[in-house]
Amino acid sequence: MVKEDWAMKTVTNEISKACSVIPGKMALPNQYFAGRVGSRFIISLRDSKKILGVKCPKCKTVYVPPMECCQKDMTKIDENWVELGDTGVLVNYTVVNYRDAHLPRKTPYILGMIQMDGAEATLVHLVEGVDPQNVKIGMRVKVVFAGKTTNTILDIDHFEPIEE
Ligand SMILES: [Zn+2]
């Protein structure tokens, strides 16, 4: 066993010395199908700047972003739309320090789990207007809509703290 570990370490070192990493780009055109429920959510953001959720008639759970079935009891809920306001609470977050060209912001930035007022499920989105070292779980936040639509979830540009 010890001998095998030693052999693996040697191979890894030899590989890292013998190989180089060559950065490159691959074009990968794709389309993401938001689905019927996701599309209605995005279209409402885009055309009305309104945040829609769906409410389970059985257990009363409200989901934002909306989904077809309740995760608690599997009731079909995709026709039971409710309109929510633009405020919520930050229930968790992470500070992203990993840099990559496809990421939506320059690092460091905050990615938060936001529970919209009136909803139980959480929405993952960008939190701005607060330094990463000052962000707090429980912070009240509000939606800032994008000035120009991208016809995506980024029609909500970000969330920012509510000054109270
Ligand atoms: Zn339910």
Query: How many whole angstroms from 41 Cα to the centroid of ligand 1?
Result: 19
Q: What is the pTM of this model?
A: 0.79
What confidence score (pLDDT) does residue 23 get? 79
142-161 mean pLDDT? 95
Q: Which DSSP helix (H) or strand (E) runs through 46? A: helix 35-48
Query: How many whole angstroms from 157 Cα to the centroid of ligand 1?
Result: 30
Query: How many whole angstroms from 119 Cα to the centroid of ligand 1?
Result: 12
How many other CB atoms are found less than 10 A from the CB of residue 45?
A: 22
Q: Which two tokens stand for residue 33?
A: 């199908």
Pairing, β 87-96 against β 140-145? antiparallel
114-128 mean pLDDT? 96
Contact 65, 119 (CB under 8 A): no
Q: What's the chain's Rg over C-alpha atoms?
A: 21
Sorted by where each begins, the domain ranges of the chain are 32-161
Query: How many whole angstroms from 74 Cα to the centroid of ligand 1?
Result: 7
Q: What are phi and psi of 111, to 5 degrees?
A: -110, 120
Tokens 């070292």 belong to 133
Query: How many whole angstroms from 154 Cα to the centroid of ligand 1?
Result: 28
Contact 62, 119 (CB under 8 A): yes
34-61 mean pLDDT? 95
Query: How many whole angstroms from 35 Cα to the centroid of ligand 1?
Result: 21
Q: Which two tokens stand for residue 48?
A: 């009305």
3-state DSSP assignment of residue 54 = strand
Query: How many whole angstroms from 105 Cα to the centroid of ligand 1?
Result: 35
20-35 mean pLDDT? 84
